[in-house]
Homo-oligomer: A and B are copies of this chain.
């Protein structure tokens, strides 16, 4: 089959052995995949991954475990990306996404979805509602990652949240937090991207204008979500959050910046790492139109042009780039 493969120095489309359904693995024909910032970090060295890239996808089930495939053949599905062992202490505790033996689709020891076919544990699959188009369903994974914040932090109208970053993830996080009833301000560098949120009734500010008032508004800023994807984001979050407030860290970057953690101690800040989230509420929010993604799609490429899709996604100002794999 054709697949976009990262070999440690180049990302190129080439021939790859087609995976097969066996044990608990289902096989899907990939319809569309999305380029995530994590993919761009991987080709900068993050995680030391080698293999087929891509972890955001919608596919069509073509094969799978006996007794299971009967109900799923031909179904459109999205898949959770952490492949857990199901038997260790973390899994027994219900923390499958933190299984120390996990493989992660297109990120850690598991070939990803920018290919004609992908193999995913059948337990990881979620049916895509008929009303939800591929172009929206392919956002399930990043919307779930945004939703994780609501699982970790109880948010409501009492909370004032600042989302730092108007990239792909920031724009989804802002919508998800707003849906919880929290008061959300999204801060970014791009008027055009922020306008997407303004049209949805979400308050926005340009970074330079906001920095001047961040200190003054600090006592009222309960939560800052760091989704800039830049090492500077954490320092900015520290300036903006109130004492005893919470910084949610969403960015994983390949760099290790120099950081002074003493403000965390002095102001007794809670820093909360936040990664993958639950697919079910994310799918429901997308299907109900509570999270809008149409305007986030900036470009589409065929799988054969997968390498160009990556380059395009890395261009400044570009939001989601999709890869048509069917």
Contact, CB under 8 Å: B258 / A256 = yes
**Given A90-B219, A98-B243, A269–B259 Cβ distance below 8 Å?**
no
| Bound: A275/B268 CA distance, A | 6
Check if A264 is an interface residue, CB within 8 A of chain B.
yes
Contact, CB under 8 Å: B270 / A271 = yes
Residue from A88, A234, A256 having most chain B Cβ neighbours under 10 A: A256
Contact, CB under 8 Å: A268 / B152 = yes
| Bound: A262/B9 CA distance, A | 22
Residues 188-225 of A, flagged 1 when their CB comes within 8 A of B and 0 if not, give 00000000000000000000000000000001100000
A13 to chain B, nearest CB (A): 28
Contact, CB under 8 Å: B257 / A234 = no
A48 to chain B, nearest CB (A): 12
Residues of B within 8 A of A88 (CB): 219
Contact, CB under 8 Å: A95 / B243 = yes
Residues of B within 8 A of A274 (CB): 265, 268
Check if A29 is an interface residue, CB within 8 A of chain B.
no
Check if A8 is an interface residue, CB within 8 A of chain B.
no
Contact, CB under 8 Å: A266 / B273 = yes
Within 8 Å by CB of A243, from B90, B261, B262, lies B90
Residues of B within 8 A of A243 (CB): 90, 95, 98, 100
A38 to chain B, nearest CB (A): 11
| Number of A residues with CB within 8 Å of any CB on chain B | 41
Contact, CB under 8 Å: A269 / B260 = no
Contact, CB under 8 Å: A252 / B259 = no
Within 8 Å by CB of A257, from B46, B258, B265, B268, lies B258
Contact, CB under 8 Å: B257 / A89 = no
Contact, CB under 8 Å: A252 / B266 = yes
Residues of B within 8 A of A268 (CB): 98, 148, 152, 272-275
Residues of B within 8 A of A250 (CB): 265
Residue from A95, A250, A260, A263 having most chain B Cβ neighbours under 10 A: A260
Within 8 Å by CB of A252, from B90, B258, B265, lies B265
